Amino acid sequence: MKIMVVGCGSMGRRHAANARELGEVAVVEIHSSRLKQITAALGVTGFSDLNDALAWGPDFVVAATPTNMHLAVASRAVDAGAHVLVEKPISHSLAGVEDFLAKARQKNLRIHVVCNMRFHPAVKSLRQGLTFVGRPFFARAHYGNYLPSMRPGADYRDLYCARASEGGGVLLDAIHEIDYLTWLFGSVEAVKCESTRLSDLDIDSEDYAGIVLRHYSGVRSEVHLDYLQRLKRRGCEVVGSKGTVIWLSEGKMPERCEVRVYDAVRDHWETILEDPRLDSGQMYFEMLESFIRGDGSSDLLDGEGACEALKVVLSAKQSAAEERTVLCPHMEKTK
């Protein structure tokens, strides 16, 4: 079994390291010094040219390039007959996405996207906690991290996150929150968003966004995203007819994580997850393993679901630019 990782930034290196436990691995990287470093460190095959790499005959390809290159790399991989796992988001625009997915279906190839938060123990516990809250009314999700600290040893101004032309900005970069809320509560009908650059960070993309989602199910979701918090924080609160479930994570390596459920009928709090030193790296391996196995797990985000999440984010961008509520395009009402 051959697994190829295209792009050797921080996420590409993580995927390549995990892939070594699942098959024979090759990496593709155009920067010679970076390629030499990762092949020596991981003991994997290296290519500087995508054509040569595809001739190696990979069964699975992980596209871990900057966002604006995702679709081009993934499409080449499909042409070569490989199943593809694309780093989130699937692309920075909708141009070509649906045609790409149709081509993969015609060739009976699987397309999945790295929304690894579906494999996070807290999101799993959050889903479990929904059984206690009755009918969900609304949710409040949040994510905050300080952009200059996100990639230790790297200048944040060199990251794709800093450049709108490469698909940067907190809305696309933090698409995880949009994805798991859609996963929990169904398709989104309409979006209202305010986003901007609040800081003096040297970026040309937004570092703050506040979003309200109207799901077809009737649930309302509020989402806060930023690149400004010096302490990484993430979490979600869901309020329902019978109670509340609250998730809060703080810090990174280690991550302190807790999920609690409030049962209004019994006036009782219960902690269903508590881990002061959560290994957040494990979810990446579980996700990659599920992709390679092809087990049909609903925890994996497929290409169609990734396209839907992208449509929500692009609708949010439109809403912020036009200062109005925007209906999401081409969404089918959740049954």
Q: Are residues 8 and 155 in the same domain?
A: no
Of the residues 114, 137, 159, the one at which a domain ends: 114
Say yes or no: 275 and 312 in one domain: yes
| Residue numbers in the chain where pLDDT is lower than 70 | 330-335
Kindly report the pTM of this predicted structure. Answer: 0.93
pLDDT number for residue 330: 63
Q: How many domains does the chain have?
A: 2
Task: Report angle CA 129, 179, 182 to the nearest 5 degrees.
Answer: 65
Domain interval for residue 104: 2-114
User: Among 78, 75, 87, which Cα is nearest to 5's?
Assistant: 87
Same domain, 209 and 134: yes
Residue 335 maps to a domain: no
Give pLDDT tens digits for 94-124. Answer: 999 999 999 999 999 999 999 999 999 999 9
Residue 133 shares a structural domain with residue 11: no
For residue range 28-76, list pLDDT tens digits in order. Answer: 999 999 999 999 999 999 999 999 999 999 999 999 999 999 999 999 9
pLDDT of residue 252: 87
